[in-house]
Structure 1
Amino acid sequence: MNEPAAPIRVLLADDEAMIRHGVRLILRHADGIEVVAEAADGRQAVEKAAAHHPDVALVDIRMPVCDGLAAIAPLLALDPAPRVVMLTTFGDDDNVVRALREGAAGFLLKDEGPQELISAVRAAAAGDAVLSPGVTGTVISRMLRSGTPQEAGEALADKRLTPLTGREREVLAMLGQGLSNQDIATRLGIGVGTVKTHVGAILDKTGSASRVQAALLAHRTGLAS
């Protein structure tokens, strides 16, 4: 008899107690998710993450003492490291771009509905990128525009694709389209575990810190077109 899967352990970091309370209530009623710690600033978030080993850290961008952006690197340096999802408001695109460049797994608008929040936690825990549809296009475009000059960037990107196998290029193209591991598995007729293996190889071979950075690479090289 198969034992039930361990719940997804979540850390909430937001300086507004009402926001933390609301998120906690939503996640409390979701199957297979457990809020194990809360923090009011980035420094506390790192300390609580080190003590409680969350699978996913939901981190507000704007907090006192140490903001969410400054907390990304120390969170990702933990062993094991949580998947960091930034909580943000509409119009904070510049900070979202910086967060993604520093390795955050994605971002979620604070006014998203309960189901979107639950789905984001599950997606992050599964290794997928978390990108709020309302601002994803703007953020991706801004990241592409703020990168290296086009010709140099494309030359570098092409070199980064060289080590990839044909199947890995297929998977990278689908990452660029925003597909989840399950979606990719279904489209290619392979197992989710195999997709995770391919994604890990893509990140390693291309030097991408996250699925989001890999997705940007797919766009720069035209794989995601």
Structure 2
Amino acid sequence: MDDVEVLNSERHADVRMMSGDQTGSPFVRIVTSEFAAAVVSCPLLFSKHAETGAFYVGALLGFKEGELLIDRPDGKAAFRPLEADREGFFATGEHIALDRTHPRFSGSGQPLFDDRGGATLVLKSAQAALGRLIAGAEATDAFITAMRDHRLIEPIDITLNFDDGERLHLDGLYTVSLDALGDLDDATALTLFRAGHLQHAYMMVASLQHIALMARRRNERLAAGV
């Protein structure tokens, strides 16, 4: 990425940053350390990287681009993924870099650095989110590998019909197979349990209830003309 620059308090003294956007992609990558916060609000599903075909896990925030269906009655999102806070920032070796072309660095918002060159709260928040994503990557990869190796991942058909006549089909999503979980031998189940993988697997299964709730919320908005 030609526009990615290693973060520097002098070079980026005038860069201002807006809050991360949660109304972009409806499916956002997360790590297993986010599961406990996400499972109360979002369906957690697997998908595959377009370039490599490798599985990753993400939270479904809506059914279409720019749509957020996990907001609370006060209008705030019930779950904020780490990806939303680290948008525009990347790890490069031991350094943090930013993509100057990212929309959140469009000129408005809060400065990255204070008058003394120290990181501001908004930058610290982005740095912390990036750090948590990096720290959670290994455990998340281990979980995905365990699910894949034990053939516990299966495709899921999500086809939704809405009151305005629109029919949506979400492609390329996968979940954990309850049948395959039930077929595990005791030794394998115990190994997965002790590694924390079984708990995360059941969280993903339980989270599927949110699909119907999100569809109902979408219909309510359609009826209200929102």
Q: TM-score range by the shorter chain?
A: under 0.3
| Structure with higher helix content | 1
TM-score by length of 2: 0.24
If you compute each CA radius of gyration, which structure gives the higher value, 1 or 2? 2
Q: More strand per residue: 1 or 2?
A: 2
TM-score by structure 1 length? 0.24
